[in-house]
A and B are shown apart, each in its own frame.
Chain A
């Protein structure tokens, strides 16, 4: 009998509607207004790569050991170096990082012995061209240079 009454008065449907109604509270709205309000990504977030420079003398931290290139599963890092005759040490000449093939696994970052290569919290990496995805040493050190449009 109770079951029949429940059926007639659509108790099960109203039970569900009540849940929907409970969640109508404006406090429970989750919209993120993205370009104006930027989400805070986690500290460990693996985003755009950066090649760190020593803040004291402006020289690169990278010792051109090539470990990151060897660690990368996609072999997308190319490091070239030159031997400095005076100090007898290898010096970095070019560093190419193809972000279009990168899967942001973080293995290169882990491999770096001097914390020169780092995946940062920056997540906006879109470009208009495919070539723009290949970052050279300057881009890696200074961050990407997006095209500026006047408006």
Chain B
């Protein structure tokens, strides 16, 4: 290499992560660079692997329930809902209407909490430091409601198979209504900070474009897919837990770039508030637990349930061999599938945009490595 100078374009391989603060956990990305240009990327995952699917085979159905919270810990309630729905399908039990309504409220509140954390950290990656403080402030209110409802803030273990364990506490409805009222002006506040800000627009517009067809090829779901113009939301497409009763829109955009994904998520938070307002106005009376025995022993069979988690389609596939422990539980985490698209989105882009694209995918490594 005697006659190459540093001015010649040579390929440079650079490791980003696993301790990089902008990789949102322990993701390692190997970047192949030509100057500022990204020629290719490769993601190395597995630093947070705990073997959750294997643990499931050694636990009873009820015992595995708290473990699912630890996959996507930012949206633990959505994970719990997906797992409970899968086992309920195996057992073929009906969840009472009251439990369904409370589940919807808490899941939507969790979607807001998850999106708020995404917005704060994504803005922080781009270089806007202010929004993260405001986002965490509002997220705190949501977490307080979780803590009051089920006794934990993050890994909640809020739902049980067949319904709910905890009845709502006094003033639950009022607190949800207050949260909705308080929250909507705050969304406008974030938009005021970011939407028209020229640095924000400059950093996000036309970065990490992923078209609708490419999304489908990769199996990418969630806000990433909707920002590319595909109107696909499992809450509308295959309603579960009584989502068909609520009136809400699926926000979509057409460009499929990072800016559009930001707009879609902001709009989704408003829609979540809408769902919560409708649900809390009509929580039916009645029991909160379905007809489930003390020992959960589903008949031989298998069930797949997918729900719309904040990050995309979250699927649980449970196989029962008739014993008290699942034969197999397979999780289809949205972040894991969405991360595949990273290379397509960033190839040919600039190295500074890598953090923007990782941020916009809204990945959680606990869910990717499982």
Given A16-B130, A71-B63, A105-B157, does the pair A110, B151 have CB atoms closer than 8 Å?
no
Chain A residue with minimal CB distance to B147? A42
Interface membership of B5, Cβ < 8 A: no
Stretch of A43-51, A79-87, A131-139 that contacts chain B = A43-51
For the complex, would chain B's binding face be called helix, strand, loop or mixed by DSSP majority?
helix
Nearest CB of chain A from residue B121's CB, rounded to whole Å: 18
Interface membership of A144, Cβ < 8 A: no
Interface membership of B137, Cβ < 8 A: yes
Interface membership of A13, Cβ < 8 A: yes
Q: Are B193 and A106 in contact (CB under 8 A)?
A: no
A-B contact count (CB 8 A): 66
Interface membership of A103, Cβ < 8 A: yes
Complex Cα–Cα for A16 and B193 (A): 4
With an 8 Å Cβ cutoff, the count of chain A residues facing the other chain is 26
Interface membership of A15, Cβ < 8 A: yes
Q: Are A73 and B64 in contact (CB under 8 A)?
A: yes
Q: Are A45 and B147 in contact (CB under 8 A)?
A: yes
* Chain A positions within 8 Å of B66 at CB level: 73, 103, 105, 107
Complex Cα–Cα for A94 and B42 (A): 53
Given A105-B66, A110-B165, does the pair A12, B148 have CB atoms closer than 8 Å?
no
Nearest CB of chain A from residue B50's CB, rounded to whole Å: 12
Complex Cα–Cα for A19 and B130 (A): 10
Produce 1/0 per residue, A96-133, CB < 8 A to B.
Answer: 00000001111100100000000100000000000000
Beyond contacts A19-B193, A42-B147, A44-B169: 7 other A-B pairs, Cβ-Cβ < 8 A, are: A13-B198, A15-B192, A16-B194, A19-B189, A46-B151, A73-B66, A104-B152
Across the A-B interface, the 6 shortest Cβ-Cβ residue pairs: A105-B66, A44-B151, A73-B63, A46-B151, A12-B196, A42-B148
A residues whose Cβ falls under 8 Å from a Cβ of B: 7, 12-13, 15-16, 18-20, 23, 30, 41-46, 71-73, 103-107, 110, 119
